[in-house]
Structures are given as C-alpha cells and as structure tokens.
Amino acid sequence: MTLSLYNTRTRQKEPFAPLQPGRVTMYVCGPTVYSFPHIGNARPAVVFDVLARLLRTRYQLVYARNITDIDDKINRAAAAEGVPIGEIAARYAHAYHADMRALGVLAPDIEPRATEHLAGIMRMIGGLIDSGHAYVADGHVLFRVSSFADYGALSRRDQRELLAGARVEVAPYKEGAGDFVLWKPSTPELPGWDSPWGRGRPGWHIECSAMVAEHLGPTIDIHGGGNDLIFPHHENEIAQSTCANRGALFARYWLHNGFVNVDHTKMSKSLGNVLLVRHLLEQAPGEAIRLALLAAHYRQPLDWTSEVLPEARRKLDRLYGALRDVEGWQALEAAPDPEFIAALDDDLNTPQALAVLFNLARDVNRSSDPAERAALAACLRASAALLGLLGADPDAWFMTETSDGLSAEQVETLLAERRAARTSRDFKRADQIRDQLLEAGILIEDSAEGTRWRRSAG
C-alpha cells in the first residue's frame, strides 16, 4: 500500500512519503473570488478532496486551500458595482463554499485569505529586498528573476528563452523582462495597504508564498493546482519562497490537474461557454457532477458535453441500485476493497477505482447469500466513501428531484389506478399509465413485492 504520485517537478511518478513521518502538509491554490465558480474551478477542488480523503486514512493531514481576495479582477468587479471589494469577495466566497459543498467537497483544515496576511506578505517582500532578490522601482517591488538560478525548472523553461520570447511589452522600470511584481502602487480610488514602499497592494504570486510560509512552514509536502498555474504562478512561488527561505526546497511534490473543456474547446467568457456549477446543479445532483469529474484521470483533459451528466446519473443509478435491496449492510464495519485502494494509490487512478466499484456492484447483484450481499455492499460503500460518493441513502437517491416533475403524491395516485387496472387485467390501461409516468421522468418497476418507482436520468 504505497501511494505514488506524479510529480510535475520531476515529470515522473514517485512513491510518496511525507517529510515528517506521519504528518502531511498540502497546499492547493483556491479560487479568486470575483465570480461564481465554474466546472473548471470544481475539478481541482474535487480531485484534491479525494487526495485529502486518502491521505487522512494514513496520516495526520494539514490541508490548506486559500481564497484569493485581493486581485485586480475583484477590484474591477467592485468598481463596476460601486461596492467595497470585501462585499464582492464575501459574496463569491460564500457561493464557492455552497457549490463545493454540493459537490461533496469537504472543507480544508485551513482556508487562508490574502487580506488576513498583509503583514506576512510585507515581511516576505522586505526579506527578499534585503537579500537582493527583489528591488524597488517606480513604486513597485519586483522579483529579480536573474537572482534565482533555478527559475524555469518546474515549467522547463529556459530563462533566456523566456526573455527572448517575451511577447508583452516590457515595463520600462523592470531590470529584466521576466521580473514580476511583488507589490504594486494603488491609486487613491483603488484598495490599498500602507507599506514601506508606499500605499499599494500585493501581487498575486506572493500571496500564496506568504500564506504557505505562515501556515505550513518553509517546506511543504504537496502543492496542487490547475495545469495552467505551472507557469508563471507556481514558478514564481518557487522563486519567492525558495529565496525567502534561504534555499530550502519549497514543495516536494507538485500536482497539477488537467483542464475541463466544453464541447471540445476551451471554456472562455468570450465564447460564452463557461459552465457554472450552480447551473449544472439545476440539471443534476451534485454527486453526479462529482462522479463526472472523477470519471477521467485527473491529469487528463476532460471534455464536458451534454452527455456527461446524464451518463454520470445512470452510473450512480447502477451503483445505488446495487445497494438498494440489500439488508443490514449499513451496520457493518467494512474496509475499502484492496483493489480499489491500489487504484487510488497509483497516482489517484479514479477511473480504475470506479471500475472496481462497478465490479463490486455486479458481485452484490449476483450473490444470493444475504450475508455475502451485505458484506459486499458495505465494502462498496466504504470504498466509494473515499471518492466522496454513495454517501446518500439509496432510496433517497432515486427520489432526488431536479426539475419540476410530478409530486410523489401524484405518482402514488396514478400507481393506485394502475394497480387497479392490473388487478382487473386491463393491461392496456396499465401500460398507458406507465408510459405517461415515463414521459414525466418516472420509471416504474414491478416485482413480487409490488410496484415501486424512481425518478430517471432522462
């Protein structure tokens, strides 16, 4: 049972062991709270939630996921509405929490905010200036990239190429084209904090470095985030933190999740194809969205199409269906299936882990021995729990309402009529009612014990 993780830093799968035996520190880049979370924001939250659940079975975990609440996008949103940035940040942080909860994402241990870490940010910037890694120019504080030999190691970029290939117009006050902002001046109408370098605000990259240092120390075990953050954000974090900590290794394992595409193309505001979690939650239960996100390996791109959600619901129908008619499994203590664990241990191979779940479901359905069925069901549930799935009551799952359909009462009334028709062997009328219910998204099943119904994925 050895966990191995693909480390972006070394570009290979490595066996995982924490720096400090028994205790793991993990930091994941959280949201910038300037709008509602979209499905792309949800992927890292779900993926690293699974990793956190797995790690907690073996280690004491300290999991920090920040909220970026100082950012120019927030400033713009606040200016547009004429409200303080705190209001924008509070609103969307709240939305983020609500949506992630709906997806079964557990809260991290620590959720630091940039606005609560100005002192630490300034302290780190001051230290970088003192040690020659940063300089003041034209009211800005900039990181001197040339002072850090390993710059570009994570993203495998050559410093010189970076400079030569720079497409953006270089600000005249920069010493080097690749130098990036640690602190920038704020005009009076912009939010700002008083600092040794004047009233201003921190750059995005330094916020994470300072929060990591304050909560998790100079060297952390795991740093996660989206694929797109490798450059420049994580590269810059490494530069800042390593230099601020006198060369100490910043993060031992770098994990990056792939992007979510929509209908084969990138999600972007200009294309108008940004899928918000809150809208998807109107189409399907959060658990289905979660399963859809875990159906592909976390490092692969995930193409979101109109088929994804209905299919995820049908998969859950199958899994919950296997639990539904089993007696007595809820009370059983069960360990996750070893094969399931092995799949997760292999760099979080969730598609493989899901395959194990489906095999367990089939075994439950196959078995006619009540004790065996209960044991298998308990194992299925215990395994799925590591993925944050199958936590609901099976009967409740099949009753989940997502859109305006028939009420349970209406369904029962129609079923009573159908029962009467069947008793008098008026099958034509009975089938008519069944078709009517089906059209309303109600699927019915006859058995020796009677008729039962459920809401279908459509």
> Interacting stretch for RNA, rule CB under 7 A, among 105-113, 128-136, 161-169, 409-417?
161-169
Site string for RNA, 30-59 (x = CB under 7 A): -xx-------xx-xx---------------
264 Rama class: left (phi>0) / alpha (psi -120 to 50) / beta: left
Sign, CA torsion 379/311/347/107: negative
Please report how close the Cβ of residue 434 comes to RNA at its closest, in angstroms.
Answer: 7
The β-bridge partners of 255 are 224
Interaction between residue 351 and RNA (CB under 7 A): yes
> Interacting stretch for RNA, rule CB under 7 A, among 98-106, 125-133, 242-250, 259-267?
259-267
Query: 85 to 124, contacts with RNA by CB under 7 A?
Result: none
Interaction between residue 417 and RNA (CB under 7 A): no
3-state secondary structure of 154: coil
Interaction between residue 230 and RNA (CB under 7 A): yes
Considering the complex, state which of residue 138 and residue 446 has its C-beta at the smaller distance from RNA: 446
195: number of Cβ within 10 Å: 18
Using the rule CB under 7 A, which residue among 90, 166, 171, 371 binds RNA?
166
Task: Evaluate the omega torsion of the peptide bond into residue 232 and state whether it is cis, within 30 degrees of 0.
Answer: yes
Using the rule CB under 7 A, which residue among 229, 288, 376, 377 binds RNA?
229
**H, E, C per residue of 210-250:** HHHHHHHCCCEEEEEEEHHHHHHHHHHHHHHHHHHCCCCCC
Considering the complex, state which of residue 311 and residue 417 has its C-beta at the smaller distance from RNA: 311
Considering the complex, state which of residue 59 and residue 312 has its C-beta at the smaller distance from RNA: 312
Rg (CA), the chain: 26
Using the rule CB under 7 A, which residue among 162, 238, 244, 406 binds RNA?
162
Picking from 380, 400, 401, the residue whose alpha carbon sits closest to that of residue 390 is: 380
Query: 264 to 283, contacts with RNA by CB under 7 A?
Result: 264-267
Interaction between residue 300 and RNA (CB under 7 A): yes
Backbone dihedral angles phi then psi of residue 349, each to the nearest 5 degrees? -80, 80
List of E strands, 258-300? 260-262, 265-266
Interaction between residue 67 and RNA (CB under 7 A): no
Please report how close the Cβ of residue 22 comes to RNA at its closest, in angstroms.
Answer: 28
> Interacting stretch for RNA, rule CB under 7 A, among 75-83, 131-139, 377-385, 439-447?
439-447
**What would the DSSP string read from start to end of 308-375?**
HHHHHHHHHHHHHHHHHT--S-TT---PPPHHHHHHHHBT--HHHHHHHHHHHHHHHHH---HHHHHH
> Interacting stretch for RNA, rule CB under 7 A, among 152-160, 187-195, 327-335, 396-404?
152-160
Considering the complex, state which of residue 193 and residue 231 has its C-beta at the smaller distance from RNA: 231
Q: What is the DSSP letter of 115?
A: G
How many residues bind RNA, per CB under 7 A? 78
Tell me the helix, strand and coil percentages in the chain, rounded to 5. 45, 20, 35
Please report how close the Cβ of residue 361 comes to RNA at its closest, in angstroms.
Answer: 6
Tokens describing residue 435: 């078709």
Site string for RNA, 353-382 (x = CB under 7 A): -xx--xx-xx--xx----------------
Considering the complex, state which of residue 41 and residue 195 has its C-beta at the smaller distance from RNA: 41
Residue type, 397: W
Query: 191 to 220, contacts with RNA by CB under 7 A?
Result: 204
Considering the complex, state which of residue 171 and residue 248 has its C-beta at the smaller distance from RNA: 171
273: number of Cβ within 10 Å: 15
Using the rule CB under 7 A, which residue among 84, 86, 132, 165 binds RNA?
165
**∠77-78-80 over CA atoms, to 5°?**
65
Query: 232 to 251, contacts with RNA by CB under 7 A?
Result: 232-233
